[in-house]
Structure 1
């Protein structure tokens, strides 16, 4: 976004500046997902598989219901993804200890290894971008991302961050 904006001008962004921000998000997401997409393609998996693996790794033992809430997908769609991951030995589904109707999800050793390959590429890219942008930009970027989230998703995001700090 070629403009250098002072803090006062941030309150008065033009439509063109907003459009550039939207396009920047599209291209940044494309960059963030490019290497994981290449890895996933070799396994005949897609981004839905990656998201499931990511969040199961972040919260081992998470329930299918919780994963549905985080991912915002249909039960049928998630079941299709989980079935593949379980059949391929990447995810293990265990009966809940408290509620026997619940299924708790865990990555297997192979699932953990795949998650690491997928996330390492993204961490490398994010680390380099953060280093280049500097600490103030990192903090500002997080604030912008959080402000774009729906309230309930912002709360879910905050709870994930707190659980893993």
Structure 2
């Protein structure tokens, strides 16, 4: 049933569709994390370790404060996870150039290899889903995901221009 004034079909806002969206997110997250979880378990690591490895790998030289801002966890929680990753040789910490109190984070070669193993499975899963869904659905998915995250984090994901032909 389409609203004549707006041209919008509100059926996707019915309770059942909203509940199905919630369930799809739960199942997608379960399956998206299952393979990396198995790899992490071999190291005695969990999802918090995965997030640290992922974001430090994507942002070499980031500060602990920047990582805390992304992860939104307590300093105490990050300290435990980061300490383990540093002690086991996956992450390095160096003092900041301008502010020596800052700790700049980067992955070691060992950390880069673990990040690659964890990400390649998730990347393949997303690539498969994107191929099956098509470009229009991918853009719709991106819009929905942006709508789900807090507004303050949305600028982290600028619109990308389509490639030139």
Higher RCO, Cα 8 Å, sep 6+: 1
Deviation of the 1:93 alpha carbon: 0.2
Structure 1: distance between partners of 2:142 and 2:34:
21
Structure number with bigger Rg: 2
Which TM-score applies when normalising by structure 2? 0.89
1:68 matched to 2:106 = no
Structure 1: distance between partners of 2:145 and 2:72:
18
Mark the CA change 1:15 to 1:79 in structure 2 (over 3 Å): closer, same or farther.
same
Structure 2: distance between partners of 1:18 and 1:132:
23
Aligned ranges 1:2-151 → 2 under 5 Å? 8-10=8-10, 13-151=13-151
Query: Is contact 2:32–2:122 with CA below 8 Å preserved after alignment?
Result: yes
Query: Is contact 2:89–2:108 with CA below 8 Å preserved after alignment?
Result: yes
- How many residues align? The count is 154
Structure 1: distance between partners of 2:136 and 2:24:
19
Q: 1:3 matched to which residue of 2?
A: none
Deviation of the 1:8 alpha carbon: 3.0
Unaligned stretches of 5+ residues in structure 1: 1-6
Alignment RMSD (CA, Å): 1.6
Deviation of the 1:158 alpha carbon: 2.2
Structure 2: distance between partners of 1:136 and 1:8:
18
Which TM-score applies when normalising by structure 1? 0.89
Which protein has the bigger helix share? 1
Unaligned stretches of 5+ residues in structure 2: 1-6, 161-165
Deviation of the 1:149 alpha carbon: 1.1
**Deviations 1:107-140, CA, capped at 9 Å, x for gaps:** 0000000000000000010000110111111000
